[in-house]
Chains A and B, each alone.
Chain A
Amino acid sequence: MSAATFPHRVCPATGRVIASAAEPLIKVNAVVAVVSLLIGAVAALLLVLTRWQAVHLLPAEWYYRILGVHGMNMLIFFIIYFEMAVLWFAGTILLNSRPANPKLGWFSFALMIIGTGLVQWAQWAGKADVLFTSYPPLKAHPLFYLGIILFAVGALTVTGLFFASLVIAKREKTYEGSVPLVVYGAVTAAIIAVITLLHGAIIYIPTFLWSVGLIKSVDPQVYRLIWWGLGHSSQQINVAAMVAVWYMLSALTIGGVVLNEKVSRSAFVLYVLFISMASAHHLLVDPGFGPAWKIVNTSYFMYMAVLASMIHGFTVPAGMELGMRLRGFTDGLFGWLRRAPWGDPGFSALVFSVVVFGFVGGITGVTIGTEQINIIAHNTMRIPGHFHATVVSGTAMAFMGATYYLLPLVFQRKVAFWGLAKAQPYLFAIGMLLLSMGMTFAGSFGVPRRHWDISFSQALFDVQFNPAVDITLAVMGIGGILAVIGALSFIAIAVKSVFFGEKITTWETGKPILGIPQGLTNPPVHAPNVDEINDALHADSRGIAGATPGTLVLVGVFLLAFVVYYFTNWKLLSFLWKVG
């Protein structure tokens, strides 16, 4: 296997070729991601304790400032640095190949770090109290915009290097056939990243010029249109990267398989085709666009990207179910789930990521992204309620699960605080679930997002929210505290493992080791006659239930919840004033 001609080592568990030039790039990006997560999580605690009106911790000025810090560090820095690590990983290790031009890789990393530094300075120094969306005519210090531009240029270059790595692997024939599905997903994410970052360039460059006085004004509606071409489309990077990580964790933890390459790959293609339309989700009650434009765009041209997610929402659990059945866990509808390794944080994180993303994030997202229903959701707490269930409970949770495998695989360290690590996904997922639900219900009563004081003590007119709002905010607060504890636990585990963890370069298969997920010490193997069993499970006589009856039941429940939530919202809408 290791006929590789470049400096490398061979992974003891998976037999993969790990290029020496790729490893440090993966590591630095992962480390900076965790540092950003730390800043974001501390900010999160302060925010939760301020929005929980009964506590109301921060003064107004600092609430808005920290809100900007949280948005930037979480959504931009934590997520994107981690994605850079994923790209280096998928473009090299998953293909047994080497990175293209590591020098340029380091240069791009440096650009991103400088950009990050400028943004942090501007925000903490109070030079950019414009939140992370910075809608003009609100204006920040020029270095804030410049920092974002540098960061984006760096990220764009890394994306380019990822494509170059693919070419190298293809040319040097480091793999047979087509790239693995996980890499295919990463390619999807990278293509979307290019589209997204170009939007970023189109909007941040003029905004920067405006901030230094070279351009007279930036049209607020055009800004919102193009900025969300960056802001929302980039969420599809997160979705594609997350789905790729789902397939990866499913394979590593329980031997999940790909049911059908054609179906899964087509679904990824749908993401690419329709994604740049998503900007419209944020403009549904804006004055700049007419109904036809809004309908076509908000639905990604007839919900084709939603279709893609619903397909992955089936194929991922079905692949897990089939993988387990092929390993002999065949009892009943859900024996495969019951007997899965729930103590493996890679596995529990995967399951929570799939479930919360689908049931909470997905359903609320499609519903509030409906042209008319957005009237009862725009800029209320329903919005953060939705995206903490997607990018946080979905993407961030999946990334955390992946980290438990990357620590031994790439960093060659045991996972520290193993007992805590086993509990961490549960803490984070339950906390996030409560936070999301609390926010969503508060928003349904009209509680605004990005708002310091819903007791309106300094306002001209009094406003008294329904007392139920206090309860929803308390649920949000308690959930938020749990989630922050979950996030801080993750950070403690990651930092301890990376910097002070027990070094482990090789281990014997079949013997459980504390601190190494079971999927690595006992790699899930299918029965020797796996193709036979597979054919039997797919026999026509099994009818529509096919090889994965359990999953079919699960997606049925999902669809039911979706239909009920969706039409309930239309009903609520119909009680309002007539508007048109």
Chain B
Amino acid sequence: MLTKVHSGLDPAPGVWWKPAHKAEKVWVAIAFAWCMVLFAMMPLWHWKGGQNPSGIRRRVDPQAFYARTVEFATQYKVGEDRGIPIVAPPAGADVYLTGMTYQWYPILQLQAGAKYRLHMSSLDLNHGFSLYPLNVNFQVMPGYDYALEVTPTASGDFRIICNEFCGIGHHTMVGRVIVVDGTGKTLADNATAVIRDREAK
């Protein structure tokens, strides 16, 4: 039975490419325009916005990347926390961070307002870089060097949570990033308090 009005369960009349009604045309046009806005926002943000996952990306041997990280850590080491070196590179430096089960190496100490090139890679499995409490997330992958230009905007004591499943100890994989401000104060008050607390324990 082929009526003009039919449901999606009925075969469609032989000639079904009828022109759409006005209301549908209007909705399709609005939806299309919105899709173009959605699309345009991304190139626009590359041009005007400050947060893009672009970076310089290249393949790298995991062992070689780790060796480079150790070299970097030795060069700029200023201290140690729980056996992991605290490393304070100068503004503008290339900074290296290696993820490995279940540790982020080393601890970075950066200056607020300074720009760095942060290289991230993994020695073994996929790991996830998740900067707490800012919620900045990147995939960290063995064999690939992901080098992002980063400029910390405010001082504080940050954490790196691993948010890619990397085995039974995944939830213990937490690293540390310290950001100091340029005015001689090494840490923001709240962050110093956290460290004081810990030292008191």
Contacts and interface: CB of A to CB of B under 8 A. Distances in A.
Nearest to B13: A177
B53 interface: yes
Contacts of A319: 7-8
A372 interface: yes
A562 B33 CA distance: 13
B38 to A, nearest CB: 5
Contacts of B173: 459
B142 interface: yes
Contact of B55 (A257, A287, A559): A287
B49 A299 contact: no
A252 to B, nearest CB: 7
Given A545-B23, A576-B136, A579-B136, A526 B130 contact: no
A221 B58 CA distance: 12
B8 A452 contact: no
A530 B3 contact: yes
B107 to A, nearest CB: 9
A463 interface: yes
B153 A578 contact: yes
A374 B4 contact: no
A177 B35 contact: no
A419 interface: no
A245 B50 CA distance: 43
A291 B52 contact: yes
Interface in B53-92: 53-55, 57, 82, 84
A370 B151 contact: no
A311 interface: yes
A211 B122 CA distance: 21
A564 interface: no
Given A306-B35, A451-B171, A257 B136 contact: no
Contacts of A375: 51, 53, 136-138
Contacts of B9: 94, 180-182, 247-248, 251-252
Interface string B153-167: 100000101111111
A32 interface: no
Interface in B36-57: 36, 38-39, 41-43, 45-46, 49-55, 57
Interface in A529-580: 530-531, 534, 538, 543-548, 552, 555, 559, 562-563, 566, 570, 573-574, 576-580
Nearest to B141: A220
Interface string A440-460: 000011101111111010111
A17 B57 CA distance: 59
Contact of A378 (B23, B38, B128, B170): B128
Contact of A578 (B32, B50, B126, B172): B50
Contacts of A177: 2, 11-14, 16
B188 interface: no
B23 A257 contact: no
Which of B34, B135, B144, B153 has most A Cβ within 10 Å?
A: B135
A371 interface: yes
Contacts of B193: none
A28 B163 CA distance: 39
Interface stretch (A35-43, A101-109, A258-266): A258-266
B139 A371 contact: no
Nearest to B26: A544
A448 B163 contact: yes
A179 interface: yes
Q: Contact size class for B?
A: 35 or more
Interface in A121-180: 129, 131, 135, 137-138, 175-180
Nearest to A466: B133
Contact of B171 (A255, A259, A452, A461): A452
A311 B26 CA distance: 11
Interface string B109-149: 00000010000110011101011111111111111111011
B141 A534 contact: no
A209 interface: no
Nearest to A326: B5
A64 interface: yes
B94 to A, nearest CB: 15
Contacts of A566: 38
Interface in A275-310: 283-291, 294-295, 298-299, 302-304, 306-307, 310
- Most interface-central of A179, A287, A304, A465 (chain B CB within 10 A): A287
Interface centre among A182, A314, A318 (most CB of B within 10 A): A314
Nearest to A185: B8
A306 B34 CA distance: 10
Nearest to B1: A176
Interface string A37-78: 000000000000000000000001100100000000000000
B21 interface: yes
B12 A580 contact: no
A508 B146 CA distance: 68
Contacts of A356: none
Nearest to A67: B165
Given A251-B9, A545-B23, A579-B148, A458 B4 contact: no
A91 B165 CA distance: 41
Contacts of A445: 133, 135
Contacts of A530: 3, 5
A463 B144 contact: no
B30 A559 contact: yes
A74 to B, nearest CB: 17
A168 to B, nearest CB: 15
B7 to A, nearest CB: 3
Nearest to A264: B8
A379 interface: yes
Interface string A4-21: 000000000000000000
Nearest to A374: B53
Contact of B21 (A285, A377, A546): A546
Given A177-B13, A263-B28, A137 B53 contact: no
A366 interface: yes
B141 A286 contact: yes
B20 interface: yes
A576 B158 CA distance: 13
A489 interface: no
Given A376-B137, A463-B159, 4 more contacts: A180-B11, A221-B143, A262-B18, A319-B8
Interface of B: 2-14, 16-24, 26-28, 30-32, 34-36, 38-39, 41-43, 45-46, 49-55, 57, 82, 84, 103, 115, 120-121, 124-126, 128, 130-146, 148-153, 159, 161-168, 170-176, 194, 198
Interface of A: 60-61, 64, 94, 129, 131, 135, 137-138, 175-182, 185, 219-221, 224, 244, 247-248, 250-252, 255-265, 283-291, 294-295, 298-299, 302-304, 306-307, 310-311, 314-315, 318-319, 323, 326, 366, 370-372, 374-380, 444-446, 448-454, 456, 458-463, 465-466, 526, 530-531, 534, 538, 543-548, 552, 555, 559, 562-563, 566, 570, 573-574, 576-580
The 5 closest A-B pairs by CB, nearest first: A247-B8, A546-B23, A251-B7, A287-B146, A448-B163
